[in-house]
Chain A
Amino acid sequence: MSGEAKLIIQDLCHHYPDEYTGESVHALEGINLQVYENEFVAIVGPSGCGKTTLLNIVAGLLPYREGRAMVDGNEIHGPGPDRGVVFQEHAILPWRSVARNIGHGLELQRVPKEETRRRVQEYIDLVGLSGFEDRYPHELSGGMKQRVAVARTLCADPVIMLMDEPFAAVDAQTRITLQDELNRIVMATRKTILFITHSVEEAAFLGDRCIVFSRRPGQIKTEIKIDIPREERVWKDMADNPKFTEARDKILRLVRQEVTSDDEH
């Protein structure tokens, strides 16, 4: 990947203190990772390996002590609008209409009303929610709520977008649609994205690069480049795309190894 590194993580470790036993949980160990401009990096790994921990540290929601983490050259201290997060659960606000949820980031950044309105409309169209501007989240399906969440994050125009299993809570059919859509959105916006998933297929389908994590304490095991042009990434063509199936099988093997070595303990 050309371009400059938007996210730089150096020798990052993390321990959670355990209030009850007094021991600590070793969640991350020696993470070194760079995400370049316009790059889509997918992280896969067994459950409990520390993926969310890493994302929360980058988001600034979890303080860290060992190692460094920088976005756009600035050391991370607390959350900020340069890092947009799409959470797994629906994090959009029930008391705001679709349009007001999507424009929330701009409102918080005191962007003038007229510009906010224009950009909100742009992203509503992008995620295909035209006509739902004035609806409230409880009137939407799960898939639509996640579209709002994605649009909300994009609309605030962060340097990097962080996504933690954003499509895990929707049904399989909707998930495929949302993945296709995300792909289209990535093409249109050229956003830099760090994407966490437990689905190997999802990682292979969406990522320019896929990082495989080891079991806890999470370490980077391997990284795999997935050299499929964005335009070719459409689910209906994936079954006979050798590059996709190859990458997917490779990632699957690596993840399996981690899970089975777990059994041997």
Chain B
Amino acid sequence: MTAITEFSVAIQKRVGRKRLLKAWKFLMGTVPFLFIIGMWELNTHFGWFPPIEIPPLSDVWGAIFFLQTDCPGFVAAMQQHNECNLTNNIMSSVGRVILAGFVGIPLGIAFGILAGMNRTISGYLEPIGIFMNSVSGIAWIPLAIVWFGVGWETTLFIMLNTIFWLIFFNTMMGVRAVPKVLVQGVQTMGGSYFDTIKHVFLPGAMPSIITGMRMSLGFGWRALIAAEMIGGDSGLGFMIFVSAVEFKTEEVFLGVILISLIYLISDRYLLVPLEKWTIERWGLVWKPT
């Protein structure tokens, strides 16, 4: 055995093969990012594109501090002090996502369950659902501006409109796919109509509901950014738009990166654990090994 294979076997024994494979997978995922950052640095070095088009990485980093220059500190930032530009915009966007989620997801689930269980209700709601889903979230922005003006009402409306119909549709489909025999089982044990919802339809539709949440987070986040750009007066989308108009490209880059990061984090730390705790534990999804 050569020294290298010996070394490799020793490490595998110490760290565990599974953990190593996981680490390897993570490293593979970072390769494209590293490539982009490398090209970016090279551009800065050789000046292929001027800084006004692609600013140096250090400028983007510096933009964080520039935007927060007059912010008195962490506590002030949390209290949304006027001068804390960056954190205010982040909190504004994230806050809207959370608010829209808290309203739109339960509403979508409630209507989706009713429509999934009841042919009459779905007869009323299904066509308009298809109609609303086909007109993509952002197509409503101009009309929303006419109705609500520029500001948080418009952005919230766009988010809600996107989230509600996605959750509604996915929940309805999920409820319809629940095997009838599971419902009958609960009924023959004395379960009421409400019991069948709570014990069968809601958990049974969970895989579909989680898919709906995934889609909502993706489409909703994008719709929000677009809505903030055109019809908002705060938020990351608004910040990007204003910075671009003022040719502060490094702030635009910073905004885009933050948007992606926030999305990534909320997927990893909200939806993935939710999946683990529900449908994976129940064996309702295929688990890659």
Binding site for B on A (CB under 8 A): 59-61, 78-81, 83-85, 87, 89, 91-95, 104-105, 108-109, 136-139, 152-153, 156
Q: In the bound complex, do residue B190 and residue A91 qualify as a contact, i.e. CB atoms below 8 Å apart?
A: no
Q: In the bound complex, do residue A85 and residue B185 qualify as a contact, i.e. CB atoms below 8 Å apart?
A: yes
Q: Which of B43-51, B153-161, B230-238, B276-284 is the interface stretch?
A: B276-284
The residues of A that contact B186 with a CB separation of less than 8 Å are: 93, 104, 108
**What are 27 residue pairs bridging A and B, where the CB atoms are less than 8 Å apart in the complex?**
A60-B187, A60-B188, A79-B184, A79-B188, A79-B190, A80-B188, A81-B188, A85-B184, A85-B185, A87-B184, A87-B185, A89-B181, A91-B181, A93-B185, A93-B199, A93-B200, A93-B203, A94-B282, A95-B204, A95-B284, A105-B189, A108-B189, A108-B192, A108-B199, A109-B189, A136-B283, A156-B190
Docked complex Cα distance between A21 and B282 (Å): 42
* Distance to closest chain B CB from A97 (angstroms): 9
Known: A87-B184, A93-B200, A93-B203. A108 touches B191 (CB 8 A): yes
The residues of A that contact B190 with a CB separation of less than 8 Å are: 79-81, 105, 108-109, 156
Q: In the bound complex, do residue B184 and residue A61 qualify as a contact, i.e. CB atoms below 8 Å apart?
A: yes
Known: A108-B195, A156-B190. A95 touches B181 (CB 8 A): no
* Distance to closest chain A CB from B49 (angstroms): 54
Tell me whether chain A's interface is mostly helix, strand or loop, or mixed: loop
Q: In the bound complex, do residue B189 and residue A156 qualify as a contact, i.e. CB atoms below 8 Å apart?
A: yes
Q: In the bound complex, do residue B188 and residue A85 qualify as a contact, i.e. CB atoms below 8 Å apart?
A: yes
Q: In the bound complex, do residue A91 and residue B189 qualify as a contact, i.e. CB atoms below 8 Å apart?
A: no
Binding site for A on B (CB under 8 A): 179, 181-182, 184-192, 195, 199-200, 203-204, 206, 278, 281-284
The residues of B that contact A61 with a CB separation of less than 8 Å are: 184, 187-188
Q: In the bound complex, do residue B283 and residue A104 qualify as a contact, i.e. CB atoms below 8 Å apart?
A: no
Interface centre among B190, B204, B281 (most CB of A within 10 A): B190
Docked complex Cα distance between A108 and B192 (Å): 8
The residue on B at minimum CB distance from A109 is B190
Docked complex Cα distance between A98 and B190 (Å): 19
Q: In the bound complex, do residue A94 and residue B284 qualify as a contact, i.e. CB atoms below 8 Å apart?
A: yes
Tell me whether chain B's interface is mostly helix, strand or loop, or mixed: helix
Docked complex Cα distance between A89 and B182 (Å): 9
The residue on B at minimum CB distance from A90 is B181
The residues of B that contact A91 with a CB separation of less than 8 Å are: 179, 181-182, 184-185
Q: In the bound complex, do residue A138 and residue B189 qualify as a contact, i.e. CB atoms below 8 Å apart?
A: no
Q: In the bound complex, do residue B189 and residue A136 qualify as a contact, i.e. CB atoms below 8 Å apart?
A: no
Q: In the bound complex, do residue B182 and residue A138 qualify as a contact, i.e. CB atoms below 8 Å apart?
A: no
The residues of A that contact B278 with a CB separation of less than 8 Å are: 95
Docked complex Cα distance between A129 and B191 (Å): 25
* Distance to closest chain A CB from B40 (angstroms): 47
Q: In the bound complex, do residue A104 and residue B189 qualify as a contact, i.e. CB atoms below 8 Å apart?
A: yes
The residues of A that contact B187 with a CB separation of less than 8 Å are: 60-61, 78-79
Known: A108-B195, A138-B283, A139-B283. A87 touches B189 (CB 8 A): no
List of 4 A-B pairs having minimum Cβ-Cβ separation, nearest first:
A138-B283, A81-B190, A91-B185, A105-B189
The residues of A that contact B185 with a CB separation of less than 8 Å are: 85, 87, 91-93
The residues of B that contact A138 with a CB separation of less than 8 Å are: 282-284
* Distance to closest chain B CB from A168 (angstroms): 14
Q: Among A93, A139, A153, A156, point to the contact of B182 (Cβ < 8 A).
A: A93
Q: Among B179, B199, B206, point to the contact of A104 (Cβ < 8 A).
A: B199
Q: In the bound complex, do residue A89 and residue B188 qualify as a contact, i.e. CB atoms below 8 Å apart?
A: no
The residues of A that contact B282 with a CB separation of less than 8 Å are: 94-95, 136, 138
The residues of A that contact B182 with a CB separation of less than 8 Å are: 91, 93
The residues of B that contact A87 with a CB separation of less than 8 Å are: 181, 184-185
Docked complex Cα distance between A81 and B284 (Å): 28
The residues of B that contact A89 with a CB separation of less than 8 Å are: 179, 181
